[in-house]
Structure 1
Amino acid sequence: MTHAQPPSFQLLAGDPGSPVLLHVPHSSRTVPPEVRAGISLGDAELERELDHITDAHTERIAAHAARSADTAPWSFVNRLSRLVVDPERLPDEREEMTAAGMGAVYTRTTHRRELRPAGFDPAPLMERYFTPYAEAMTRAVDERLAATGRAVILDVHSYPAAALPYELHGDGPRPPVCLGTDPVHTPPALVAAARRAFAGFGGTGANSPFAGAYVPLAHHGADPRVTALMVEIRRDLCLAGPGEAAESSVKALGSALAALVDAVS
């Protein structure tokens, strides 16, 4: 008997009239067995790497926002770890993280140790996971454009309070909430709305330690109706202890994200 493969991503429906798409790409710790077989780390080492690389609790924050918003946004959630593929990387040598071994398919860990052996062929993972994800996200944006005439991608992440060795720009400010912007697709009004929404968490910064905002390649630089903002939440804001979420903080951050959703809806 064969068993169906669990979905590697999921589009969760919102209000038909909402232009907002919450994108949650890095919240999962799931690594399928066939992918696990190609990873060089032992089980305990892999768990530690997942602690470092997973954007803890972002799915819960986004889910609370979706429930709390006056106009429910749509949500696109990655159900697999970014150690399978990172759907937000460029699929070729244009990705600056490729040189650090952390392009679309990682070959190095957050501490620059071997994750996959030299000569590993990323093509099967790209074909099975990266390309279908990118195509589905493109369709989700197209559907918002068709329904509302615009699409607003809010890219939901979290990041550690202390820089990890893999970070290429980890020596800058690490504000409670970092807002990543795209020079083409992030209008000032969207940034201003986010600053207002997250004003109660100790301050926001822009593009440090992480910059940019995810827009599907089919729309990037080509369709001004698509706007985008990355919301990077410093993880200590929502942790009660190591790996343990502070429920009240998760809800407060979700409510702030809901306020941003409503401001741009």
Structure 2
Amino acid sequence: MSEPSYELLPGAAESPVILHVPHSARAVPAGVRADIVLDDAALERELDHITDAHTAELAEAAAGLAGVTPWRFVNRLSRLVVDPERFPDEREEMLAVGMGAVYTRTTHRGVLRDEPFDPGPLVARYFRPYARAMTEAVAGRLATTGRAVVIDVHSYPSRALPYELHGAGPRPPVCLGTDGFHTPAELTAAAREAFAGCGETGLDSPFGGAYVPLEFYGADARVGALMIEIRRDLYMTEPGGPAGAGADRLATALAVLVDSVAG
């Protein structure tokens, strides 16, 4: 049996926080690669643009700095395999640009997979097991601590890419994605305070919303959620280059947020 495409890294038993890192990896299994029409060089360029580079390392550093170690749930495969944060059905607005749970278009709206393409096998092999494992991780925090807080760790380019549906809006250094049911005001306020030294924080632009497993979504207020979208020029060379000095400051800010929430 193949290895899982994700990893749950345990934190402190008393921590309700799960740092969720869904888009940091570049790995594409050979069987999935066969359905992608890009040549190797074009695929590497696409991975540069679509990957939230170094976010797994940011989360790892923050976990090490936090007084109460958070749990981490990390996707080990590229989002070009499946995007675990999409709705797996017609509710997903990104279907309009070929970026539902399984992408058929690139960041520049070119062809990634020939259509019609059946996403069913990839959803069954990768998306649904990931969703079940994340649901179990949240359920574990609820059972142990009585609450769970999912903090999504993302990044985004300083200049809008053609696939973005809301790319004309503000692009602050740190964008906080919120949900009307799962993001209480105090969680947003804690994030603004934690990232105050990293530049302006904005809300839900250019990306909005926050990830919650469907079993709890809109139904269990004990599950809090916030998306942290970091503009990439703050901490790395775009589009897919190395991390820079700004990464340390951002990891420290994330650790402050984790401890604020855990406390």
Q: Does 2:8 align with 1:11? A: yes
Q: 2:152 pairs with 152, 155, 158, which one?
A: 155
Counterpart-to-counterpart distance in 1, 2:130 and 2:243: 31
Counterparts in 2 of 1:167 and 1:152: CA distance versus 1, 3 Å:
same
Letter matched to residue 187 of structure 1: P
Q: Does 2:74 align with 1:67? A: no
SS at match of 2:245: helix
Q: Does 2:125 align with 1:146? A: no
Q: Does 2:128 align with 1:107? A: no
Q: Does 2:173 align with 1:176? A: yes
Q: 1:221 pairs with 218, 222, 230, which one?
A: 218
Letter matched to residue 23 of structure 2: H
Counterpart-to-counterpart distance in 1, 2:181 and 2:243: 36
Counterpart-to-counterpart distance in 2, 1:240 and 1:199: 22
Letter matched to residue 245 of structure 2: S
Aligned residues: 262
Regions of 4+ moved over 2 Å? 4-7, 240-248
Please list the CA deviations of residues 110-133 of structure 1 after superposition, one character each: whole Å capped at 9, or x if unmatched: 011110001211110000000000
Letter matched to residue 149 of structure 2: V
Counterpart-to-counterpart distance in 2, 1:244 and 1:31: 19
Letter matched to residue 243 of structure 1: G
Q: Does 2:257 align with 1:248? A: no
- Stretches of structure 2 that go unaligned for 5 or more consecutive residues are none
Letter matched to residue 152 of structure 1: V
**Residue in structure 2 matched with residue 116 of structure 1 by the alignment:** 113
Give the CA RMSD over aligned residues: 1.0
8 Å Cα contact 2:49/2:239 also seen in 1? no
Q: 2:89 pairs with 76, 92, 110, which one?
A: 92
Instruction: Calculate the TM-score normalised by the size of structure 1.
Output: 0.97
Letter matched to residue 101 of structure 1: G
Counterpart-to-counterpart distance in 2, 1:234 and 1:131: 29
Letter matched to residue 103 of structure 1: G
Counterpart-to-counterpart distance in 1, 2:4 and 2:126: 10
Question: Percent identical across equivalent pairs?
Answer: 68
Counterpart-to-counterpart distance in 2, 1:41 and 1:232: 28
Counterpart-to-counterpart distance in 2, 1:207 and 1:112: 23
SS at match of 1:131: helix
Q: Does 2:189 align with 1:192? A: yes
**Residue in structure 2 matched with residue 258 of structure 1 by the alignment:** 255
**Residue in structure 1 matched with residue 130 of structure 2 by the alignment:** 133
8 Å Cα contact 2:232/2:238 also seen in 1? no
Counterparts in 2 of 1:153 and 1:172: CA distance versus 1, 3 Å:
same
Could you tell me how far 1:240 is from its partner in structure 2?
4.7
Could you tell me how far 1:87 is from its partner in structure 2?
0.2
Q: 1:212 pairs with 209, 212, 218, which one?
A: 209
**Residue in structure 1 matched with residue 53 of structure 2 by the alignment:** 56
Instruction: Calculate the TM-score normalised by the size of structure 2.
Output: 0.98
Please list the CA deviations of residues 50-78 of structure 1 after superposition, one character each: whole Å capped at 9, or x if unmatched: 00100011001000001000000000000
Please list the CA deviations of residues 193-238 of structure 1 after superposition, one character each: whole Å capped at 9, or x if unmatched: 0000000111100000000000000000110000000000000001
Counterpart-to-counterpart distance in 2, 1:243 and 1:250: 14
Counterpart-to-counterpart distance in 2, 1:35 and 1:244: 25
Letter matched to residue 91 of structure 1: P
Could you tell me how far 1:241 is from its partner in structure 2?
6.4
Letter matched to residue 105 of structure 2: R
